[in-house]
Amino acid sequence: MGIETKKKPALRASWRILMLVSANLASGRYCSVSDLLRDARKMRIPPLRIYEIILQCYLFLGYPRSIEGLKLLREHYPAFTPPDADEIGSESSEKWQNRGERLCRKIYGSNYEPLRDRIKSLSPDLDQWMVWEGYGKVLSRDGVPSALRELCTCSALVVTGDIVQLHSHMIGAIHVGASWRMLEEMIDLLNGTAKAGMCRGASALLNRISQKAGKDA
């Protein structure tokens, strides 16, 4: 009889911490975020990477959650100085637009044009901001792999229960290098942070997406 070997986790420990930071910011559990940042410091996770993950949360959770997260980051990493902001001008605007279009197209694949048309029909302003600001100015920043950014986004969306956006970003995570097992482990990780019904819904959604893609999650 063979000895069963336990599968090595697909998610590295540092990624799990950052995904939990996003999820707990989404639920407003700031004490838990503080505990996670304490763990992150012990694990020597670079503060710049944590900063980037907290910063991007404003796109999905609003400014209040990101601001509170950044305040906690300062408490735990008092020596950390955030990088200077890019100067806003025609050159930077063009850069954000170009890299936003590239990343958005990569994440959404064949759904990119239908997405742009759909959002533009709701609001031309929002369509422009989504690409220029969301994907160009924020999600294309250096310092964090796109797969990790998408997994952290998915973690927050499981907690908030925004299932339509979660569907898109689960697929997007795969498109930028995450695996089905990573997404499966992400959902398991969120048990206790997200409501049980939301985790079940996310798991069912992942199964539907993976089956449609012809993969085993």
CATH number for position 46: 1.20.1290.10
Do residues 177 and 146 lie in contact, with contact meaning Cβ atoms separated by under 8 Å?
yes
Within this chain, do residues 130 and 150 fall inside the same structural domain, yes or no?
no
Residue 138, pLDDT > 50, answer yes
pLDDT at 5: 54
pLDDT at 164: 94
In a shared domain, residues 152 and 60:
yes
158-176: per-residue pLDDT in tens?
999 999 999 999 999 999 9
- Give the model's pLDDT for residue 92: 79
Both 55 and 157 in a single domain?
A: yes
Q: Which domain holds residue 153?
A: 13-81+142-213
Based on the domain organization, do 76 and 106 belong to the same domain?
A: no
Q: Is residue 3 part of a domain?
A: no
**Are 166 and 186 contained in the same domain?**
yes
Distance CA 35, CA 25 (A): 12
Q: What is the pTM of this model?
A: 0.92
Confidence of residue 214 (pLDDT cuts 50, 70, 90): confident
Q: Model confidence over 63-98: pLDDT tens digits?
A: 999 999 999 999 999 999 999 887 777 777 888 999
Q: How many CB atoms lie within 10 A of CB 98?
A: 14
Same domain for 207 and 124: no
CA distance 102 to 94: 12
Shared-domain flag, residues 146 and 180: yes
Whether 106 has a pLDDT exceeding 60, the answer reads yes
- What is the Cα–Cα distance from 164 to 169, expressed in whole angstroms? 9
Q: Is residue 1 part of a domain?
A: no
Could you tell me if residue 6 is inside a domain? no
Q: Are residues 207 and 172 in the same domain?
A: yes
pLDDT for the residue numbered 158: 98
Same domain, 165 and 202: yes
From the list 60, 49, 58, the residue with the least C-alpha distance to 83 is: 49
pLDDT exceeds 70 at position 36: yes
Residue type, 46: P
Higher pLDDT, 4 or 202: 202
Q: Is the pLDDT of residue 216 over 50?
A: no
Whether residue 11 is predicted with pLDDT greater than 80 in this model: the reply is yes
Per-residue pLDDT at 1 exceeds 60: no
Write out the DSSP string of 22-51.
HHHHHHT-HHHHHHHHHHHHHTT--HHHHH
Clarify whether residues 146 and 208 are in a common domain. yes
Residues 196 and 157 reside in one and the same domain: yes
Query: Is 86 part of a structural domain of the chain?
Result: no
How many distinct structural domains can be found in the chain? 2
100 in a structural domain:
yes
DSSP letters, 182-204, are: HHHHHHHHTBTTB-HHHHHHHHH
Residues 146 and 178 grouped into a single domain: yes
**Single-letter code of the amino acid located at 1:** M
Residue 148 covered by a domain = yes
